[in-house]
Amino acid sequence: MTSTLTISGLTKQFAGVTALSDVTLSVAPGERVALLGHNGAGKSTMMKIILGLIPQTAGQVTVCGAAPGSAAARAQVAYLPENAAFHPALTGLEQMRHYLALRGEPATAALPLLEQVGLGAAARRRIGTYSKGMRQRVGLAQALIGSPRLLVLDEPTSGLDPVSRRDFYALLDGLAARGASILLSSHALTEVEARTDRILILSKGRLVAEGPLADLRRQAALPVALHVTPRAGAELDLPGAVAVGGVLHLTCAQDEKLALLARITAMGDAVADLEVLPPSLEDIYSHFSQRAGQ
């Protein structure tokens, strides 16, 4: 099956400033890809190019087999902007009906879509009275219209509470299972960790790392942290360990992990508890961004 989104050698310059530099990537149908990067790393610029809102300086972009921004591409791509905004004088229902009409879908789908994002009760209130989280949900509801083949979501969970975030990712899982590709950017690294198939790290307009989280973890080869709780009165012989409130903290390289674990388990009853903490996505993210010179 061909890719939903293909980007090769993408470069974008604004008045001499390079926002994106030679970015190459592809997103397959049904794949959920997270785009990570600092503010100004080029995430939003890349999304706007994919959507055809701004032209690229160099490189090729193909969206659903068409040029970005062409009528064929726009019919198959849904977008959720970073701060979803709507006309304050319209109600949620009216705004959704308008978007449905623009996509050639029946207006009767408006209320079910709003109910799907938990806005059924507020559907007949003006958007001007909505909170930021509610506006974000209207944005999400409009991105679900029709059967988009590619969803481009810019910071989709900003302004959502933890429960709404979980519901949101459940919605995305459903869409991906039906073959939609999802490209989302986020600052909330922990939620991206469990909910995406692949991670892209942008730094200063360059793609500095790409792959499933496990691969990135291996590539980064960051030390593993272990927390060992000794049984009361027991003395553990662990060189390099630092006692923090009765718990011994120590780190080791990935390839030494199993040997160290074997040593600790050999201590038998002297150990009350053991926790192994793999490097978090935050650690991996800073590793790759720093290596790129951030």
Partner 1 sequence: MIRRILATAGCEFRIALRNRWVSIAVALMGLFSLVLAAAGSAPTGGLGVDRLSVIVASLTSLGVYLVPLLALLMSFDAIAGEAERGTLPLLLTYPVARAEVLAGKMLAHLAVLALACGTGYGLAGVAALWSDPGAVAGLPALVRLFWTSVLLGATFIGAGYALSALSRRPSGAAGLAIGLWLGLVVLYDLGLLAAVVADNGGWFTLNAFPLALLANPADAFRLYNLAASEATAVAAGVAGASASIPPWQSLASVLLWPLLAMAFAVLGFRRVTP
| Rounded Cα–Cα distance for residues 136 and 244 (Å) | 42
Out of 37, 42, 92, 139, which residue is the one contacting partner 1 (CB under 8 A)? 139
**What residues have CB less than 8 Å from 277, skipping those under 6 apart?**
224, 225, 226, 227
Residue 27's DSSP bridge partners are 5
| Rounded Cα–Cα distance for residues 185 and 168 (Å) | 14
Rule CB under 8 A: say whether 49 interacts with partner 1. Answer: no
Rule CB under 8 A: say whether 125 interacts with partner 1. Answer: no
Helix/strand/coil (H/E/C) assignment for every residue in the chain: CCCCEEEEEEEEEECCEEEEEEEEEEECCCCEEEEECCCCCCHHHHHHHHHCCCCCCEEEEEECCECCCCHHHHHHEEEECCCCCCCCCCEHHHHHHHHHHHCCCCHHHHHHHHHHCCCHHHCCCEHHHCCHHHHHHHHHHHHCCCCCCEEEEECCCCCCCHHHHHHHHHHHHHHHHCCCEEEEECCCHHHHHHHCCEEEEEECCEEEEEECHHHHHHHHCCCEEEEEEECCCCCCCCCCCEEECCEEEEEECHHHHHHHHHHHHHCHHHEEEEEEECCCHHHHHHHHHHHCCC
Rule CB under 8 A: say whether 38 interacts with partner 1. Answer: no
Rule CB under 8 A: say whether 79 interacts with partner 1. Answer: yes
Out of 4, 56, 142, 203, which residue is the one contacting partner 1 (CB under 8 A)? 142
Out of 1, 15, 71, 163, which residue is the one contacting partner 1 (CB under 8 A)? 71
Find out whether 183 and 152 touch, Cβ atoms under 8 Å. Answer: yes
Q: Give 81 or 230: the residue with its C-beta nearer to partner 1.
A: 81
Rule CB under 8 A: say whether 99 interacts with partner 1. Answer: yes
Size of interface with partner 1, in residues (CB under 8 A): 29
Query: Which of the stretches 76-84, 115-123, 208-216, 222-230 binds partner 1 when contact is defined by CB under 8 A?
Result: 76-84
Rule CB under 8 A: say whether 131 interacts with partner 1. Answer: no
Per-residue x/- track, 194-233, partner 1 (CB under 8 A): ----------------------------------------
Rule CB under 8 A: say whether 94 interacts with partner 1. Answer: yes
Q: Give 79 or 288: the residue with its C-beta nearer to partner 1.
A: 79
Rule CB under 8 A: say whether 89 interacts with partner 1. Answer: yes
Rule CB under 8 A: say whether 132 interacts with partner 1. Answer: no
Q: Give 52 or 179: the residue with its C-beta nearer to partner 1.
A: 52
Residue 74 CB, nearest distance to partner 1 (Å)?
Answer: 4
Out of 58, 65, 87, 115, which residue is the one contacting partner 1 (CB under 8 A)? 87
Out of 75, 261, 270, 292, which residue is the one contacting partner 1 (CB under 8 A)? 75
Rule CB under 8 A: say whether 130 interacts with partner 1. Answer: no
112: left (phi over 0), alpha (psi -120 to 50) or beta: alpha
Rule CB under 8 A: say whether 291 interacts with partner 1. Answer: no
Out of 3, 6, 13, 52, which residue is the one contacting partner 1 (CB under 8 A)? 52
Interface residues with partner 1 (CB under 8 A)?
A: 48, 51-54, 71, 74-75, 77-79, 81, 83-87, 89-90, 94, 97-99, 101-104, 139, 142
